[in-house]
Each structure stands twice: as C-alpha cells, then as structure tokens.
Amino acid sequence: MATLRGTPEPGTRLAIVKLRPDGSEAARYPGTALDSPDDWVAISAVWEHGHVDVGAFAFDNGDQLREYFALHAPYNAFAVQDPDGRPKGWYCNVAHPSRLDGGALYWHDLYVDVLVNVAGETRVVDEDELASSGLPERDPGLCRTILTARDDLLALIAAGAYPFSELPPSSR
C-alpha cells in the first residue's frame, strides 16, 4: 500500500483501520479529516465500541474523539471527550507511522500505550505485553524504536507540544 505525504482536505471522510501488532485488522470505523500539519492527519470520530475502562478513564458510546495520526513518527494520540465535550483524557499509542491509502488511514499498533487523565497524570501501560511478545529477542531494533517512541510521547505531553497543544491546559 502506498504511503502518502500530506493530509486530506478537512471534511474528507476516511475509514480508520487499526492493525494489531501481528498486522491483522483489529477495528475499522469512520472518521472525518480535520485541519492538521502536513506530517499529521487529524480526525474527528465517535466511539461506538461500548464501555472500555482503560484505567485512567473509560471510553463510552458517544464519546467524541479527536485523533492525531503521525505520518512521520511511530505514535498517535486520541483526545477523548464525553458527548457534551468534557475532556476525559488522552489515549496514546506507540505504532508504526500511520499511512494513507486511498480512502483509508491505517495505523499499526505496537503494544505500548501512554494514558493521560484530566488531572494531567501520565501512565505507561502494556509494557508487559511487549516483554511477553518475544519481540525484544526477535527484533531488538523494533523494540528500541517502541521504547524511544514511548519516551518521545512522554516528552511531547510534558511540553504540551502538538497534538497536546490542541486542548486548553486544563484539559491536558
């Protein structure tokens, strides 16, 4: 599949496709492109996968998502708000750089996630899944990339850099 640079025009409808670490499809859902820098794709979407408690907060049907997919770096970030627009937190994924192909945006999950609650408390999760996957032994280079991406996400969050600059400080 071709990797494209640049972003779709705001208002463009896309299929968002999440791939598991093994490359198989985990989820597919619709989203609408928002204005974003050239090396990112920002999407507006609605959560419709039931109640999912992630520890720092929970996703519920109707929650509004502003999803930020890096085309240049191995991560993405989802700002989660309830249906009335009240912030719930950020859910960030370490992933291969996202790619656009036709009318779809693909992102390939890579185990480790970073969560930020509305109080600004940050927590790294799923490092145990990475350790038990065998990846550290099979592909130490990719494992280093994952851990570096985790650290890069933590630095972006701490600095309030894009995409974390997109919500007011009280929402970070």
pLDDT tens digits, 114-161: 999 999 899 999 999 999 999 999 999 999 999 999 999 999 999 999
pTM, 2 dp: 0.92
Extract the tokens encoding 96. Answer: 């291969």
Rounded to whole angstroms, the Cα distance separating 50 from 28 reads 15
- pLDDT at residue number 167: 66
Residue with tokens 């509004």: 64
Q: Give pLDDT, residue 166.
A: 81
* Enclosing H/E stretch for 95: strand 87-95
Confidence category of residue 38, pLDDT binned at 50, 70, 90:
confident
Do 57 and 157 form a contact (C-beta atoms < 8 A)?
A: no
- Band of pLDDT at residue 7, cut at 50, 70 and 90: confident
**What are the residue ranges spanned by the domains of the chain?**
13-171
Query: 112, 107, 106, 114: which is closest to 136 by C-alpha?
Result: 112
Predicted confidence (pLDDT) at residue 168 exceeds the cutoff of 60: no
pLDDT tens for each residue of 90-115: 999 999 999 999 899 999 999 999 99
Indicate left, alpha or beta for 157 from its phi (over 0: left) and psi (-120 to 50: alpha).
alpha
pLDDT surpassing 60 at residue 37: yes
Query: Band of the pLDDT at 172, cuts 50, 70, 90?
Result: very low
CATH of domain 13-171: 2.40.380.10
Quote the CA–CA distance of 85 and 88 in Å, as a whole number.
9
Residues 169, 170, 172, CA angle at the centre, nearest 5°? Answer: 65
Which residue do the tokens 């627009």 mark?
85
Please tell me the distance from the alpha carbon of residue 14 to that of residue 31, in angstroms, as a whole number.
5
CA proximity to 22, closest of 111, 152, 131, 104: 111
Q: What pLDDT score does 102 carry?
A: 87
Report, as an integer, the average pLDDT of 77-102: 95
Percentage of residues in the chain having pLDDT higher than 90: 86
